[in-house]
Structure 1
Amino acid sequence: MFLRLFILLLIQTFPSGNDPPLFNNSIKLSLKKVIIVGEDRKGPYKLPDIFILKNSEIAIKDTITLERERDYFLNTKTGTILFFESLKKEDKVTISYHYFPFTIKKEYKRRSIGSFMQGKPVLKEEKIRKDTTKKYEKTGITIGGAKTFSIGMNSYGGFSFDQSLRVNITGEITKGLSISGVLSDENTPLEPEGTTESLEELDRIYVTVKGRGIGATLGDYILHYKTPTTPVIQRDLLGVTGNIKRGGTDVNVAYGIPRGKFHSLHIKGIEGKQGPYQLTSPEGEEDIVIVSRTETVYLDGFLMKRGEKNDYIIDYSLAQLIFTSKRLITEESDIVVEFQYTKIGFRRSLYSTRVDYKKSNYNVGCFFIRDGDEITQTEGFELTKERKAFLASIGDDTTMNWMGSGVYVGEGKGDYSFSDSFYVYRGYREGEWNVSFTYVGDGKGDYVYSDTLSGFVYVGYSSGDYVSKIRCPLPDRVYTTGFDIGFNDGKNLKLQGELFGSDYDRNILSSIDDNDNKGYLTDLNGNLNLVKSKWGDMNILGGYRYRNKNFEPPSRMEKKDFEERWNIRSSTGMEEIKNGGIVYSKENLFLSKANVSSLKRENSKATLREGVFYLRRKNLPNVDITSSTVSIHGDTLLRSVKKTDVTIAYSVWRILPKIFATQELRNESRRKRWREGGGELGFLLLKNSKLVFGYNKRSDEIYNRNEEGYERESRTITKKLVFETEETNIFKGSLNVTSRERRFTPHFPGENTELLFIEFATHSVSFMRRLDIETNYSVTGKNSVVFKEIFYEVKEGTGDYSKDPTTGQYYPDTLGNYKRKIDRIGEGNPVTALKTYIRVGITPAKIIRCNLTASITEENKGSEKMPIYTLRLKRFLNDSLTVKGRQTLDGNISLYLLKSTSFSYSLNFLKGLNNELVTRAKRDYSDRNEFRIEQRLTEKSKISLEYSRKRRIEERVEGGLEKSERKEEFSPEYSHYLLDNFEVRIKAKTGNVKIEEPLWYSQLGVINIKTEGISPSLDYTIKNSAIIDACFTVTRNSIPIHEDDLPYDVKSFYPVGITTDWKIGTNISISSMFSMNISYNGLNRPDKKTMHSANAELRADF
């Protein structure tokens, strides 16, 4: 055992470079094949062995051999593999490798090790050589990660201490008790982009322990609880939770800090607008940040999936939602978004407990939740005595929590002065007051921001966008408790009853208005089977829900299709819903349902009648018929809605036809009706290809009382084409085209719109990955023209309308003095948004490798769309038509013509224009070209020549050239190994830089900078112990202009004179686990004192 341990340590310390294969003949290596099953993530995935022989692995995915450092990274010491692209659940990667078969392992196990992040196994082992693991290896825990300590200091007195930890844990503690988790103290302060389906959960920190009937999680987790019929709460928390399950009893206790405050928002869609849709707080504030991954989006009652290739994308920082072309948004669309958000205020805490019991035919449950602010812990907000007294005096009124933001700081210490009743900007440290301003919307404030002054200017009452006030957040708290009981005999009868109570204080600092804090909700449901025979089953359904006006739910408790079914918004006031219905169904044949519901609120009531019929029978068409009628009474213009929907689909061989028809009658201030009909024709081509054509037509009509009939208001035609193919493993592609056109008749006002969505994507990988091509083309074209109703005055008695002097509304009058006409407003509003890219990788032979990526984004308001669709680049980045756009090209090519000679060329090109802010419209351009030739002179020496040319130009659309910088540089380098472990290098450079800033420094013209430098360096490797590297650089910049006349940015990047920079560092390998990095830097600039800095870091990998 000691001998094997000694050999093991030698393996970890001996280098694998030019050393002879010391152990290859003395120890017979084992060969193993492992199949890795994907989990929709990149990894890391844990292999069942450690101490894998370097470069011995062969990884194959779908007959394609993967390349190390390009497709994956393998840690041979810990036996973990990380893929650079996520493995889908249906993907499998077969990896074969040699490993050292020592009985001393990092883990002792009795099953396959699963995911690094989860406890379930993901590997299927296929051993070529019999496993030598001993019988006593029964259980085990795999721990991997890194811990670092870092100390830094500099000659200006700066001192820093930093440390980080990230640990991955998985395995079994004892028989029947498993553990998994991630521990880290690293911060990820920025919210990720919400453009992908699965976000990397790098900020998730947790430890989960599971056993027979018990479980506990410490760290980040999701608290999700619902009764048998009602969702109660779902929150992302940082804290601790535990649950016990024994004999039908389920007990859960949780405590944590919510990552944000919960809010549910209903948004009505806008015709032709895919987004962005602004998400707001309950008070309507837009300056919020959505907590990533907490959003749940429903469209017309259906759950949406995040991702550019799916249904929607979301900007967490701006709180904006955009739907993709796969989900067409119309004025009938109902969007429900549930999310958690953060803003300046108080830190919240939440704790809950619940107990559920289920045995035989009965179930009983209860819960308690406390969710509220902690007044002793604020975030971005200071609760002073004055603010605390102010909040205590306003009670629960959320419109009164505005306070003046001006703070007197003394003469010469502030930026503003107070004059009469408003503040005047004086300049930085030229005033006596510091003031905070809040954006309240156009025409709702008293101040505007001045770009010229870089401050706020008073423009008069309700004439600006900002106010000199801040909104003081009200600390709130809600207690929610609930009890539910149910009975289900499994045959004929099912009953469920629930009772919830809440105590909601909108301002816990004030006792004013606390008499309305308490509320309750009760929900009763039943299902009785009347008939059960070979001809079918008949059931009676019934339900009752009552919510008093003060009940505050912890989350949205209405069903996701509430707005779609009732045609009214969900609310938090008093509400009573009764429903009853009958269901008759035959398994594998049909289902029919009739249901009647009534809804009552304080100022309105509604009745809903619904009918459903489904036919499902093999060799027969699938038929869906739904009908609903809503009658509404109360303070609303909408009186009734009748909707009927019929869909018939049938599969004949490989043909998939489908037809549908929908009609909706709406009784508002004017009776309206819309009818829509159409169909789809799909074809299953070959093995894995599908082609679908779709067409539907919609007609919106308004009832004409004079003619006692409906007349068409507008007509909408939608067409679509979908093609998907993946016949082989080397090619897949998709095409999605959708067009929608809406036109109003000439005598009706409205917005004529034309929409076109095109999305085309392909991915082709040739055999052995010699050629890899990926393309994506996505374009949205919209054109809209607004026609507005205009009333103009004519001679008394000759008009058709009169004007009400009180309301300003026009009403029909045959003896009136106004006439009506429909006028076109403007020339239209065309917008075309295009996004496309192509990526090409070519490796035709071992001597050449080439990669090229080109991308174009363009948002253009020109009326001619075809040049945009067909990528006529001359029409792109137009100063007057482009809203914003960017074109990029990146590429590199490497040639290995001879064994000792290599050539490489890389390029980068960028061209952009941003016209979103007219006063700051900018154009930028940059390109870079680099050439490098490397020649090996002997086995120990080589020489390389590198030439680069860079250019960067920034322009203002209105003001012209702002800055131009051109740089050329030539750098030869020679390196030589004096010993096998001692390398010396010397690099020289010479170059010219030309800078021009005519917008600010026109008198200087072109600034010519000549730069020269030399940099000797060395690397010394102490065998199996340390690597020492040192570098000394001398750079001289000469400029034919006096230093005091140079712009500040030029002096900072190119100091005139000689600059020396030196560095020495070492990486010490203390053991296979511990390593240390020590570095010292020195910098001497001609315009500053010499600066010294040092840093030491200790790292432990395990």
Structure 2
Amino acid sequence: MKDFEVVSDTITIDSISISPYNFKVLDSAKQLIDSTLYSVNFAKAQLYINKPKFKRITVQYTALPEFLTKTYYKFDESLIVPQATDLSRLYSVQKSTINKNFLPFDGLQTSGSILRGFTVGNNQNAVVNSNFDLQISGNISKDVQVRASITDSNVPLQENGFSQRLDEFDRVFIELFSKNWKISAGDINLFNTTNQFLRFNKKVAGVQIDVMTESEENDTHFFASGALVRGQFARNSFTGEEGNQGPYKITGTNTEEFTLLISGSETVYVNGAPLTRGENNDYIIDYNTAEITFMPTFPITGNMRVVVEYQYADRNYTRFVTYNGAEYKNDKLKLGVAFYNENDVKNQPLQQDLTTSQKEILSQAGDNAALMVAPSAYNAAFEENKILYKKELIGNEEVYVFSSNPDDELFRVTFTYVGEGQGNYVIQTTIASGRISEYVAPVSDIKQGAYEPIVQLTPPNRLMIGVLNADYTPTEKTAISSELAYSSNDVNLFSSIDDTDNEGFAGKFKWNQILVDRNWKFATGVNYELIHKNFRTIERYRNVEFSRDWDLLNTEGNQSYLSTNLSLSNTTKGIVSYVFENLNYSENFNGIRHNLLTNLKLNRTKINVNSSLLSNNTNAYKTDFFRWYSHGKHHFSKSWIGAELNAESNKRYDKSTSELEDISHKLVEYEAFFGVGDTAKVYAEFGFNYQVTDSVQVQRLQKVNAAKTYFMRSKLIQNEASNLSLFVNYRTIDHTNFDDEESLNSRLLYRQQFFNNGVSLQTAYETNSGVLPQQEFNYVEVDAGLGYFTWNDYNNNGIQELDEFEVAQFQDEANYVRVLLPTINYIKTNQNKFSQSFTLNATGWSDKKGFKKFLSHFVNQSFIVIDGKVKRENSSFNLNPFAVNDALALNQSFKNSLFFNRGKQFFSTTYTFINTDNKNAYSINNQNNKLKSHQLLFNHRIKQWWLLDVKTSFSENKSTSDVFTSRNYTIQSKEFNPKISYLYSTNSRFEMLYHLKDKKNIIGDEEALFINTLGVNFIHTTGKNFSVNSSLNLVFNKFTGETNSAVGYQLLEGLRPGTNYTWNVSFQKRINSYLDVTFNYLGRKSESVKAIHTGSLQLRASF
């Protein structure tokens, strides 16, 4: 049944034929219309109205099935054409749409690979291996482009650091964008640099959407985002130490020892200036141990204020963040609004599993972190290799005592560092699975330890900020801006106590006016800010040294800030400006600051001045703080000369006594320098710096030290064949009350090539002073095959001890990794680094005759690296890199290789000498390893089918340990290893080898091993599409000594005395242009030990 409007005499009822049975036509009142008033063509489903007097009708009908009304043809009538000369309708030519070879991401620019595999064995659990690295860019449609970078790995590694959670180091970033919109998903950065009260930069995992609309008159931008937070903002400040380049420990927000920094999130400031990371720049940072080290070219002094702002991994709760807003702008007006919300889900804790009693503690603590402390002990079942404690009564005190007795009532206890003399426990010893703590009774009610069996609870929190800003530019000479902000900060969502201080407001108004706009521009401006005492921001919104600039100690109360400025500027000659500032905290601070800033360029002379005068007044003290910095530099045609003056005087008086406070100080610093050359090419600059520091002595500012610094910066040679640069900074400090100090920082880089690269050398040398951390570590078990170490219970006591871990010889045994523990113990050192490479290459004389022709067969390469740290005694220097006998830490290696007919397989001979010396200073042990080796390699092709390889060597491996005497050994080895290869085609070879090795420990129990190895290898490759590599070895070990020992493991190399078998089969097949499959199977069998089988299968797709 259908309704129709009658607008013509012909109505099409349906697209298919209809049945004449049960056909009716009704008027608008649903009354039957006489059939004489219309006619019907049922085949075409059309109704003809004889007298169109009806405005609306209803037709009731039944449609016939399509198969009854369809027209059937033996041939397609549309292909029949009239007989004519135009035959274009008879055929058409098209490209085939069949895609014979499917290519993923066809049409996009892609690079990378995806790998999936698994490893199984009868000596390990199944392990899944995965690695994914993909970059995509290009158009996915006419108007839409894509950018993507996806990295995924099951190995928790990070640049210069490690992972707390695996997904922190899997990277996914996908961005779709067009002219007016953009969608970003995965690991993204949320940031705001526009609003003063909402400045932040966060690494998150989520989605961000941007929509832009543009017209000739105005632009509009909408954005919305939601994500899981990866890091929290933190700030760590410390003062540099004279002659200490680091490492400096970066402590957490609550001065905790362990902080997990997110890679690349840090910004480092020294005296308010940002630094650049990198060995050739200012500093490097170890994210593993949260330590920062400054380069020798950036000397650290005792007057340097260091600030490290960073993000750290916060996994206490699931944390969400939303950031949304909009922006409108035209030629004169700009409006913006933004909302930020970051909150923890208090019922989804991650690192801490809060008990009911702990939640109760948090609910009663309010905002007071000192009350958020709970006992850390809880009942635990006995487990081997776990550190557990029992309770004992010592005197009247119930304390925790380490226990490995399964019959005791055991507890797992976390000991928190609370400061020296603030706790009752000390670290007794360190074993492979962690630290064991011990109770020490107080002496005369004075605590003797630094640890307590407590845990600092972390409450869930929430921060919301809303910002509204407006910028108005009525004329080219006038600019007005304003900003309003609201914040709500609840630091403990479990408690309603102290919630009255959660909310705060902030406002800002700024006006700039150009009064004269001629050759010299005269301008003025006013800036006013009002900030409620409870207003909170995400990150710092003032300059990094704001508190020092105003000599602030206490910032309680509502804050008001007023600044006015006058400036005179010229586009080519610079600017001179005066700024008046007033800062007030309603409860206890009022300060006035005058600033004069100059930056002028007058012909070849540059002048910089930055000075300020502060007077402040608080309830407790008043301060007069004067600062002056000036820098002048004049350029001649090929040289320059300059001077600096840096002075400050801070006098803080106690208002109750009118006496100078100890923080008062005075500093005067002079510097003069001159240079020649071009700093972009070849130059040298020399300078002298003199600095005098005064501090409060007997209520007066008196000199406490004077420092002299001599420095040189240079790039003396720079061309294609040679480079030479030198940096030297020598500093002496004359102290009034204690011993004088000296420090030397230097770096020399030299590269030289002679005789058409026949002789080349490269030298790097640097010296500096720093500290050496007394590192501790333990071992953590991981999936088999993903670690580096194996555990051998040498004393059969079932306890994992530090001297029982070895570098695994076989993949299935590698199920432990070494994890460094935080330390607070450092030793002052002088560090010396030296590296040298020297190459003699006479192959350029190959076309000569006589003696030169003979020499053209030889190449000699030498490498030496020395990195040593010796204990710093007074002001001594360690300028000799080879004086390493007293080194606390050392990494020294020397390698010399003499080649004859290198790479030619014609009496090719190589003699290599290696000498290494490595020394590590740990908190409980000093470990020293030395290796000396002589190797002779001979390679010769006999006619076309045979290749002879012979390797002989003599080596001595010496290990010494202060504490672990079982690791003291000196192993001498002699080896003879001939191998004959039959090359029956360019793609296949068959090898037979014999390996004779004689190893003996010449100290202690004089363990000895005599090895005879017979082996065969088969290698076959078919271009790039297929390869197979297989080997079978029969190893006869004649061993004398204790097998279950560190020396035995080193000698036997993971095998057993007697007859051993090892085998390996590897297949690699390229399935198509982007897909490869690899299969590896290896095994070993020793007497009285079951056969060990390990197999792995990997599939790699390349894009």
Asked if Structure 1 and Structure 2 have the same fold, meaning a TM-score greater than 0.5 normalized by the shorter chain, the answer is: yes
Partner in structure 1 of residue 764 of structure 2: 776
* Compared CA separation, residues 428 and 471, structure 1 to 2 (3 A): farther
Instruction: Give the partner amino acid of 2:693.
Output: D
Partner in structure 2 of residue 972 of structure 1: 978
Note the C-alpha offset of 1:966. 2.7
Partner in structure 2 of residue 729 of structure 1: 720
SS in 2 for 1:986: strand
Which of 448, 462, 466 does residue 451 from structure 2 map onto? 466
* Compared CA separation, residues 450 and 210, structure 1 to 2 (3 A): same
Note the C-alpha offset of 1:1048. 6.7
* Compared CA separation, residues 505 and 975, structure 1 to 2 (3 A): same
1:604-615 correspondence to structure 2 within 5 Å: 604-614=588-598
Partner in structure 2 of residue 71 of structure 1: none
* 8 Å CA contact 1:776, 1:836 repeated in 2: yes
Partner in structure 2 of residue 811 of structure 1: none
* 8 Å CA contact 1:689, 1:726 repeated in 2: yes
Give the Cα–Cα distance (whole angstroms) in 2 for the partners of residues 160 and 522 of structure 1: 58
Report which of the two structures shows the higher radius of gyration computed on alpha carbons.
2
Which of 683, 690, 700 does residue 697 from structure 1 map onto? 690
* 8 Å CA contact 2:645, 2:671 repeated in 1: yes
Q: Which runs of 5+ in 2 are unaligned?
A: 1-98, 163-167, 653-659, 772-826, 845-856
Q: Sequence identity, in percent?
A: 19
Q: Could you give the per-residue CA deviations for residues 454-474 of structure 1, whole angstroms, max 9, x where no partner exists? A: 732111253123222222222
* 8 Å CA contact 1:231, 1:556 repeated in 2: no
Partner in structure 2 of residue 796 of structure 1: none
1:473-872 correspondence to structure 2 within 5 Å: 473-534=458-519, 536-563=520-547, 565-568=549-552, 574-601=558-585, 603-614=587-598, 616-619=600-603, 621-634=605-618, 639-668=623-652, 669=660, 672-684=665-677, 688-701=681-694, 712-745=703-736, 749=737, 752-765=740-753, 770-781=758-769, 831-845=829-843, 847-861=857-871, 863=873, 868-871=878-881
* 8 Å CA contact 1:249, 1:356 repeated in 2: yes
* Compared CA separation, residues 289 and 325, structure 1 to 2 (3 A): same
Q: Which runs of 5+ in 1 are unaligned?
A: 1-103, 109-115, 117-138, 196-200, 784-828, 999-1004
Instruction: Say which is worse superposed, 353-362 or 723-732, in terms of deviation.
Output: 723-732
Give the Cα–Cα distance (whole angstroms) in 2 for the partners of residues 437 and 216 of structure 1: 46
Q: Could you give the per-residue CA deviations for residues 168-189 of structure 1, whole angstroms, max 9, x where no partner exists? A: 2122333454322222322452
Instruction: Say which is worse superposed, 940-949 or 971-980, in terms of deviation.
Output: 971-980
* 8 Å CA contact 2:556, 2:587 repeated in 1: no
Instruction: Say which is worse superposed, 441-450 or 957-966, in terms of deviation.
Output: 957-966
Note the C-alpha offset of 1:553. 0.7
1:938 aligns with 2:943: yes
Q: Could you give the per-residue CA deviations for residues 1044-1081 of structure 1, whole angstroms, max 9, x where no partner exists? A: 79977467734111111122232222222222222332
* Compared CA separation, residues 1018 and 587, structure 1 to 2 (3 A): closer
Which of 123, 136, 151 does residue 184 from structure 1 map onto? 151
Partner in structure 2 of residue 171 of structure 1: 138
Give the Cα–Cα distance (whole angstroms) in 2 for the partners of residues 1017 and 384 of structure 1: 61
SS in 1 for 2:968: strand
1:259-278 correspondence to structure 2 within 5 Å: 259-278=230-249
1:220-235 correspondence to structure 2 within 5 Å: 220-227=187-194, 232-235=199-202
RMSD (Å) for aligned C-alpha atoms: 3.4
Note the C-alpha offset of 1:350. 1.9
Give the Cα–Cα distance (whole angstroms) in 2 for the partners of residues 619 and 448 of structure 1: 67
User: Normalised by the size of structure 1, how large is the TM-score?
Assistant: 0.76
Which of 423, 430, 451 does residue 400 from structure 2 map onto? 423
Equivalenced residue count is 902
Give the Cα–Cα distance (whole angstroms) in 2 for the partners of residues 570 and 704 of structure 1: 25
Give the Cα–Cα distance (whole angstroms) in 2 for the partners of residues 452 and 645 of structure 1: 51
Give the Cα–Cα distance (whole angstroms) in 2 for the partners of residues 432 and 1052 of structure 1: 42
Q: Could you give the per-residue CA deviations for residues 737-763 of structure 1, whole angstroms, max 9, x where no partner exists? A: 112222133xxx356322221111123
* Compared CA separation, residues 573 and 263, structure 1 to 2 (3 A): farther
Instruction: Give the partner amino acid of 1:988.
Output: Y
Give the Cα–Cα distance (whole angstroms) in 2 for the partners of residues 664 and 259 of structure 1: 41
Partner in structure 2 of residue 949 of structure 1: 954
Give the Cα–Cα distance (whole angstroms) in 2 for the partners of residues 614 and 728 of structure 1: 39
Instruction: Give the partner amino acid of 1:923.
Output: N
Note the C-alpha offset of 1:343. 5.2
Note the C-alpha offset of 1:646. 2.7
Note the C-alpha offset of 1:383. 3.2
Q: Could you give the per-residue CA deviations for residues 974-999 of structure 1, whole angstroms, max 9, x where no partner exists? A: 1103455442111111111223674x
1:895 aligns with 2:900: yes
Instruction: Say which is worse superposed, 460-469 or 605-614, in terms of deviation.
Output: 605-614
Q: Could you give the per-residue CA deviations for residues 108-138 of structure 1, whole angstroms, max 9, x where no partner exists? A: 9xxxxxxx9xxxxxxxxxxxxxxxxxxxxxx
* Compared CA separation, residues 623 and 1019, structure 1 to 2 (3 A): closer
Note the C-alpha offset of 1:893. 4.0
* 8 Å CA contact 2:705, 2:734 repeated in 1: yes
Note the C-alpha offset of 1:377. 4.2
* 8 Å CA contact 2:338, 2:466 repeated in 1: yes
SS in 2 for 1:399: helix
Give the Cα–Cα distance (whole angstroms) in 2 for the partners of residues 957 and 410 of structure 1: 35
* 8 Å CA contact 2:835, 2:864 repeated in 1: yes
Q: Could you give the per-residue CA deviations for residues 363-422 of structure 1, whole angstroms, max 9, x where no partner exists? A: 111111122333354443323444334433323221222222222235788732201210
Partner in structure 2 of residue 4 of structure 1: none
Give the Cα–Cα distance (whole angstroms) in 1 for the partners of residues 615 and 1017 of structure 2: 85
Instruction: Give the partner amino acid of 2:908.
Output: S
Give the Cα–Cα distance (whole angstroms) in 1 for the partners of residues 494 and 121 of structure 2: 48
Partner in structure 2 of residue 213 of structure 1: 180
SS in 2 for 1:515: helix
* Compared CA separation, residues 188 and 1063, structure 1 to 2 (3 A): closer
SS in 2 for 1:665: strand
Note the C-alpha offset of 1:867. 7.4
Partner in structure 2 of residue 1033 of structure 1: 1033
* 8 Å CA contact 2:589, 2:619 repeated in 1: no
Give the Cα–Cα distance (whole angstroms) in 1 for the partners of residues 293 and 187 of structure 2: 28
* 8 Å CA contact 1:237, 1:258 repeated in 2: yes
Give the Cα–Cα distance (whole angstroms) in 1 for the partners of residues 257 and 1100 of structure 2: 44
Note the C-alpha offset of 1:1016. 1.0
SS in 1 for 2:549: helix
Partner in structure 1 of residue 1061 of structure 2: 1060
* 8 Å CA contact 2:276, 2:282 repeated in 1: yes
* 8 Å CA contact 2:609, 2:631 repeated in 1: yes
Higher relative contact order (CA 8 A, sep 6+): 2
Instruction: Give the partner amino acid of 1:166.
Output: D
Instruction: Give the partner amino acid of 1:435.
Output: V
Give the Cα–Cα distance (whole angstroms) in 1 for the partners of residues 402 and 679 of structure 2: 72
* 8 Å CA contact 2:972, 2:1002 repeated in 1: no
Instruction: Give the partner amino acid of 1:537.
Output: K
Give the Cα–Cα distance (whole angstroms) in 2 for the partners of residues 254 and 260 of structure 1: 16
* Compared CA separation, residues 1047 and 884, structure 1 to 2 (3 A): closer
Instruction: Give the partner amino acid of 1:446.
Output: N
Give the Cα–Cα distance (whole angstroms) in 1 for the partners of residues 309 and 911 of structure 2: 50
* 8 Å CA contact 1:614, 1:622 repeated in 2: no
Give the Cα–Cα distance (whole angstroms) in 2 for the partners of residues 638 and 322 of structure 1: 37
Give the Cα–Cα distance (whole angstroms) in 2 for the partners of residues 760 and 385 of structure 1: 62
